[in-house]
Chain A
Amino acid sequence: MATIKIPTPLRSYTGGNAEVNVSGTTVSAILSDLTTQFPDLRPHLYNGDELRNFVNIFIGDEDVRFRSGLDTEVEPGDKLRIIPSIAGGR
């Protein structure tokens, strides 16, 4: 079991919880478990089957893009975090 920190804009979809217990041995499996527990999260994390490019997944302080992306292995007790890229433009 690992934990994942939910960013403030998505906490209304996790019953107000800032942290959720999740199961899985890869980042992909963790996100699958998360969106199975809280299906309304899915449209805000995925565009179809693709993770939205402004969704950043960290394990500890490291962006998984700098490891193996969604295939990055997750150990029991790991602390994951969803960090949104905040962008805008005219």
Chain B
Amino acid sequence: MELVISTELHDRLTHHLENTFPNEGGGFLVGHIKGDTRQVTEVHLVENTFASEEQFHRYLAEAGAFQRIEDEADARGLSLLGYFHSHPDHPAIPSEFDRTHAWPYFAYLIVSVRAGKRAESRLWELAANRESFIEGQLSFNQAVFEEKSNNGNH
């Protein structure tokens, strides 16, 4: 899987994750799919609703946020591509907690935030057998879906 995101949208989500430090933060990625490539056109910042004393190492988006963002994407012919979350002072590598809670098909963008500053972003996808993650390619540009965008589809 390749995830293409503009530097502006990546900056927006990582700035949010720096602001939630030392707790975890996250949100959803919306956009277009073409083959194995996903173009992010929107970033939705979503509050961490895990128990507050656990937020330093856990993130949870409440069901209502998923419902609202998926409905809005469906209605506009867009796709809910996946979600992002931070690993404060920890590598951008999926944990066992990430794996057991992961969904297939989704793009999992994990951002390592160290001492309050973004350090590394890496892209992952759950393997079909749910036993591991496969690393994808994170690309920064806006060119892939130019034609579709010009047709007013986002």
Is A44 part of the binding interface, using a Cβ–Cβ cutoff of 8 Å?
yes
Residues of chain A having any CB pair with chain B under 8 Å: 7-13, 18, 43-44, 54, 56, 58, 63, 81, 83-90
Please name all residues of chain A whose beta carbon is closer than 8 Å to the beta carbon of B59 when the two chains form the complex.
Answer: 87-89
Is B150 part of the binding interface, using a Cβ–Cβ cutoff of 8 Å?
no
Interface readout for B84-109 with A: 1 if CB under 8 Å, 0 if not? Answer: 01011010001101100101111010
Q: Interface on chain B toward A: helix, strand, loop, or mixed SS?
A: mixed
Distance between A10 CB and nearest chain B CB, rounded to angstroms: 7
Question: Known contacts A7-B66, A43-B130: does B24 contact A88 (CB below 8 Å)?
Answer: yes
Is B74 part of the binding interface, using a Cβ–Cβ cutoff of 8 Å?
yes
Docked complex Cα distance between A90 and B26 (Å) = 12
- The residue in chain A whose Cβ has the minimal distance to the Cβ of B94 is A88
Count contacts on B: residues with CB < 8 A to the other chain: 34
Question: Known contacts A8-B105, A9-B103, A54-B101: does B95 contact A89 (CB below 8 Å)?
Answer: yes
Docked complex Cα distance between A26 and B114 (Å) = 48
6 sampled A-B residue pairs with Cβ under 8 A: A8-B80, A9-B103, A43-B130, A88-B58, A89-B24, A89-B85
Docked complex Cα distance between A43 and B58 (Å) = 24
Is B1 part of the binding interface, using a Cβ–Cβ cutoff of 8 Å?
no
- The residue in chain B whose Cβ has the minimal distance to the Cβ of A41 is B104
Q: Which of B60, B101, B103 contacts A10 (CB 8 A)?
A: B103
